[in-house]
Structure 1
């Protein structure tokens, strides 16, 4: 991972390329195009990792200052500088995400699991068809829900599972692939409709989340980030206030995203700041500062 922020020209080019798609066209044999695409994705991913690095430093420093409050006056300047850096990184990262795409991903959670039918096109699998359909659906659902990419990209995860199940089979292969294409297209359309029903014309919600720090795997195995790509993008795009001493952030989000953040599934502890607020007209920063989540459990 790079040690400093990418320059403006690099970010602008990466945003432009990724707005055209995560990968070049399948029939594009231009090695340079594939290399530029890889560099654009690395630019986005490195920037996200840099932001998480800065968040971790701020949360760790705040926890240390809570234990040694007499150091706070000495540390204030460094905390402010790191907070400014985190905000700069966040603003740069938001350029890689389309808010509507994040809202549509929230609609995926509302989709019912499909059931095998006679016209599913998975007849090649005979009695195993329901199992294959279930695995394909699970792969698509996870990618569409948590990857923070256009919903259409989730078809790649489903295709990979289907091809693994097909193995060397030839007869009926094309029918299964065509069926999967129809299914994933239908799932995308259903998710978009559900997302619109969740949020269109409904008031937004002010949600507070506690930013979870990353954890290092034992024995030098790297770093685990509990945040999914979607959660990272939502925090970046919708953040309106942050309290680094509390390790929390306030997000002003569409109804559908708010419901998903408050569900039991996400990685971040979350509360609705307006649900029981005495002063609903208070600034988001004031409501956030009044939230006192339970102390973190040290799992190290």
Structure 2
């Protein structure tokens, strides 16, 4: 039974003769081995591969080859844990960027009309792997010669995955969403759309204002083009009416009219800004986050933010974990402010 946060690590599957151990090679491990030169070191006394006459002992990590079947029980704060995690990440082939990766990577040559969400996920997984790999070589600099070819392949996979994202995202939609996010909330709704607000009084005015605000937030998040985000506005109407049908279609029509007018206004602004000046932006690239218990991934970036980084990327400093973008001013303002 493991206690005190101890971990069982299959060191033999991680460290091979090709992995430079650096200063960690002298760290002592509890092992079992037979008394012979370059004997295989075992972490489990019950290992079936352990020969007769095996003896326990404490030897350095570099003292001999490690059994690939054994797991070593290490304290949670043992320095080998972080090193093993770093090497394991670099050993994983660049194309394996997560569960279902091979199916996802087919997106890199798929139709540009496909939904970008899966392509973004593949790209962000590969990007996170690359960031973790460069962080590993910074923490353990003696790994650089061994890790170099692997990091080169991995950054190449990141660019391939980013290309799939770029083919699926329209920069004008990103700019339109930024223009929507910058729009002030509409006023005078009672006079502008009397059919709905007149029937519902103050409730009708609130309904339209709330629907418009939900639509604006959905556009800024970027889960869909600005026109498709009207679903978020319509949801307000359905929530307000519940099972009642009387007046609901009228309210939906008024919401649609309000959103359509705002979309037209945002697209006019976007057309003016599309050929306008751009801003150079530098920002840190956040890693994907994984829930410890469920293993579920969470991206700190919204779909809109991820799309902007993919489309407007100018360069990446992997060692610093930073990306440089050249983006229209409205896009840069929302990216830095959001």
The answer to whether TM tops 0.5 is yes
The structure whose Rg is larger is 2
**Alpha-carbon deviations, 1:35-69, whole Å to 9, x = none?**
xxxxx43xx32221111111111111222222212
Q: In the alignment, is the contact (CA less than 8 A) between 2:237 and 2:248 conserved in 1?
A: no
Which of 242, 250, 261 is 2:316 aligned to? 242
Measured after TM superposition, the shift of residue 184 of structure 1 is 0.4
Which of 90, 99, 106 is 1:6 aligned to? 106
Q: Distance between the aligned counterparts of 1:196 and 1:7, measured in 2?
A: 30
Within the alignment, does 1:170 sit opposite 2:270 as a pair?
A: no
Within the alignment, does 1:111 sit opposite 2:183 as a pair?
A: yes
Report what 1:205 is aligned to: 279
Which of 265, 268, 283 is 1:190 aligned to? 265
Report what 1:291 is aligned to: none
**Alpha-carbon deviations, 1:127-184, whole Å to 9, x = none?**
3234323321222011122225321111111112211212233332232121111100
> Residue 231 of structure 1: SS of its match in structure 2?
helix
TM-score, normalising length: structure 1:
0.72
- Go from structure 1 to structure 2 and tell me whether the alpha carbon gap of 1:110 and 1:46 turns closer, same or farther (over 3 Å shift): closer
- Go from structure 1 to structure 2 and tell me whether the alpha carbon gap of 1:7 and 1:54 turns closer, same or farther (over 3 Å shift): closer
Report what 1:36 is aligned to: none
Between Structure 1 and Structure 2, the one with more helix by share is 1
Which of 140, 145, 150 is 1:78 aligned to? 150
Within the alignment, does 1:225 sit opposite 2:323 as a pair?
A: no
Within the alignment, does 1:216 sit opposite 2:290 as a pair?
A: yes
Q: Distance between the aligned counterparts of 1:8 and 1:257, measured in 2?
A: 26
Measured after TM superposition, the shift of residue 193 of structure 1 is 2.8
Q: Distance between the aligned counterparts of 1:7 and 1:222, measured in 2?
A: 22
- 5 Å-filtered alignment, 1:85-100, equals 85-100=157-172
Q: Distance between the aligned counterparts of 2:101 and 2:226, measured in 1?
A: 32
> Residue 47 of structure 1: SS of its match in structure 2?
helix
Report what 1:61 is aligned to: 133
- Go from structure 1 to structure 2 and tell me whether the alpha carbon gap of 1:125 and 1:169 turns closer, same or farther (over 3 Å shift): farther
> Residue 220 of structure 1: SS of its match in structure 2?
coil
- 5 Å-filtered alignment, 1:10-159, equals 11-12=110-111, 15-16=112-113, 40-41=114-115, 44-115=116-187, 116-120=189-193, 121-147=196-222, 149-159=224-234
> Residue 97 of structure 1: SS of its match in structure 2?
coil
Q: Distance between the aligned counterparts of 2:218 and 2:226, measured in 1?
A: 8
Gaps of 5+ in 2: 1-98
Q: Distance between the aligned counterparts of 1:107 and 1:254, measured in 2?
A: 11
Q: Distance between the aligned counterparts of 1:99 and 1:181, measured in 2?
A: 24
Measured after TM superposition, the shift of residue 112 of structure 1 is 0.8
Q: Distance between the aligned counterparts of 2:138 and 2:243, measured in 1?
A: 60
Q: Distance between the aligned counterparts of 1:261 and 1:162, measured in 2?
A: 30
Gaps of 5+ in 1: 17-39, 266-300
Q: Distance between the aligned counterparts of 1:139 and 1:85, measured in 2?
A: 37
